[in-house]
Chains A and B, each alone.
Chain A
Amino acid sequence: MKPSIEKLAEKGFLFSALFSVSITILIFFFMVFFSFPLFKGGDIAKFFTLEWNPYESGFGIVPMMAGTGIIALLALLIATPFGIGCSALISVFSTGYFGRFLRKVVEFMTGIPTVIYGFVAIFLLVPFIREIFEKGTGMCVLSASIMLALLILPTIILFISNAFNAVPKNYLDAADSLGATPAQKLVYIIIPLAWKGIISALVLAAGRAVGDTLISLMIAGNALQIPKGLSDAARTLTAHIALIIASDYESPEFKSIFVCGLILFIFTTLIILALRLLGYLKILRNR
């Protein structure tokens, strides 16, 4: 091909790459641009107060931050033992038929749309939770975190089981020749060697849990309060963004969702940096 075409193509490739990464910067820029008037006006402190009351100009987003934190943390707490258990089953205990089947199921789970989890939960889990607590609507922190745990489980399981499989084979062979049982191999060799992988999986899952919109929007109840118990309704940052549809683009109410967006963006960046620090991002990219 002519050298000029080569040059042109290279420019084109470079331009596409620059365009793609500039989206990230643009998103950050837009979040700052739209929430900037609030920073400048000096009433940013108001946003970090407890009260959300648009009629008396209280736009505190602390309840939403608390809701996000509590729901995501609870989901992680539920999902972690299951995640480690299932990945140990896949990589260590049942490498035969059942393990392969379980892995297929988990891979299949990554293909189920979030909105379907939410939809089924409304008619299956929520009535059940309502019966248990015997008060409220059943749309509460507990229901949301159970569904969220189910949503992030595939991420956790696939990531941890990849980390387990990456343990050098000769270590395992050595353990085998010393007569170690599978459980001993898991506790004394695989987990100590793969702990970074486990932490990375949890960090990644935390990112997914915080970033998910539909489940918390559909089944967390969306109440504007700091949840005090498992049966309380709560609202997350993501659901808050989805719920505020202000027609008046100049109102502080509308601008406050960009502060939420900025917080989520910074959180995502921190997650990515943490994953880099752990050195496990390569596995993620390869998937």
Chain B
Amino acid sequence: MNRFVEYQIKLFCWISGIILICTIGILLAFLLHKGFSSLNLPLIFGETRPLDGLFLKTRVVDGLFPAIVGTLLLILTSIIWAIPTGVAAGIYLAEYCNEKWKPGFNLLLDILAGIPSILIGLFGFAVSVFLHKHLSEHIYPCFLISSLALACLVLPYIIRTTEQSLVNLPFFIKTTGLALGASRLQNILLILIPYNLSRIISGIILAIGRCAEDAAVIMLTGAVAMAGIPDSLLSRYEALPFYIFYISSDYNSQEELMKGFGACIILLLICVFLFALSHILKRRAAKRFAIHI
């Protein structure tokens, strides 16, 4: 290879790296530049007094408060569905599953992890239609359906992190408890899981991030533009990602558009915070393992 070609290859790599960083930089700078001025209390609470809105005394009409609360409630509910199932399934795959069944489980879980989120949304929608026809006339796409669908979306991630963190443990940690006479379940619940907690939690936080950002699922399963704070599991609700999508296609004034940019920044901050938290926990877990091995 002559020197010129080598130089070209190197140049190409540097250019692509720099273009990538510039693109992301421009994107974020644009977002901040446009949205920074709208970041204030009226953005969140509209014309309602902040404290009244916060304690649900008055309904916030033209602020982002219902959307933010909707998103947080949605995350909380879906995580409540997903964590027990996901962690239990992860434990099963790591500790109990026999070799005959494992390939089947793995294939189906990989497919579930790869399914486009819109398909999960469509599934949730189909389930609500099915229930509407066969169970009760009162079931429509709603908060409950959304949270269940989101739980399906993040389930494979939680299962995988739990399974991987258990499988990758050093041999002596896995066996010390057993050697001292602990039963299999005691060993898992009292030694392996606590030892691994930060890794599992980092996976869960990543899953929370996915719940927060996903718009395709909630779009089909009951998020609407104006609903206020959901008062029951069967009501419709607002959520930040859907609000952003709605504003982008249907804004009437410059003011509304600015609120869209503000909503973008808030959502970005939530996601980046969760992402960073998960990253830190993962790194701490890695450090801890490095000492032991």
Interface residues of A (CB under 8 A from B): 1, 5-6, 9-10, 12-17, 19-21, 23-27, 30-31, 33-34, 81-82, 85-86, 88-90, 92-94, 98, 101-102, 105-120, 122-124, 150, 153, 181-184, 186-187, 207, 210-214, 217-218, 238, 241-242, 249, 257-258, 261, 264-265, 268-269, 271-272, 275-276, 281, 285-286
Interface size of B as a range:
35 or more
A286 neighbours in B (Cβ, 8 Å) = 164
Which residue in chain A gives the minimum CB-CB distance to B114?
Answer: A268
User: CB within 8 Å of A: which of B219-270?
Assistant: 219-220, 241, 244-245, 247-249, 260-261, 264, 267-268
26 A–B contacts from the bound complex (CB under 8 Å): A1-B185, A6-B183, A10-B185, A12-B88, A13-B88, A13-B95, A13-B96, A17-B89, A30-B130, A85-B12, A89-B14, A90-B17, A106-B20, A111-B274, A116-B267, A116-B268, A117-B27, A119-B260, A123-B30, A211-B116, A213-B118, A213-B215, A214-B245, A242-B220, A268-B116, A285-B110
| Cβ-defined contact, B248 with A119, below 8 A | yes
Interface: B74 (CB within 8 A): no
Partner of A258, one of B23, B122, B152, B267: B122
Q: Nearest Cβ distance between residue A190 and chain B, in whole angstroms? A: 12
The smallest C-beta distance from B132 to any residue of chain A, in angstroms, reads 8
B293 located at the interface, meaning its Cβ lies under 8 Å from any Cβ of chain A in the complex: no
Name the B residues within 8 Å of A187 (CB-CB): 1, 9
A97–chain B nearest beta-carbon distance, Å: 12
Interface string of B17-38 (1 = CB under 8 A from A): 1011101101100110010000
Alpha-carbon gap, A111 to B275, bound state (A)? 6
Residue among B84, B107, B279 facing the most chain A CB atoms (10 A cut-off): B107
B105 on the A face (CB < 8 A): yes
Whether A113 and B271, one on each chain, are in contact in the complex, defined by CB atoms closer than 8 angstroms, is yes
Instruction: Let me know if A265 and B267 touch, CB within 8 A.
Output: no
Give the tally of cross-chain contacts (CB within 8 A): 246
List of B residues within 8 angstroms of A242 by Cβ: 118, 121, 216, 219-220
From A262, which residue of chain B is reached at the shortest CB distance? B119
Q: Are B1 and A183 in contact (CB under 8 A)?
A: yes
User: Which of A19, A98, A238, A258 has a CB less than 8 Å from the CB of B85?
Assistant: A19
The answer to whether A124 and B30 touch across the interface, beta carbons within 8 angstroms, is: yes
Once A93-B10, A114-B213 are accepted as A-B contacts, the answer to whether A261 and B164 lie under 8 Å apart by CB is no
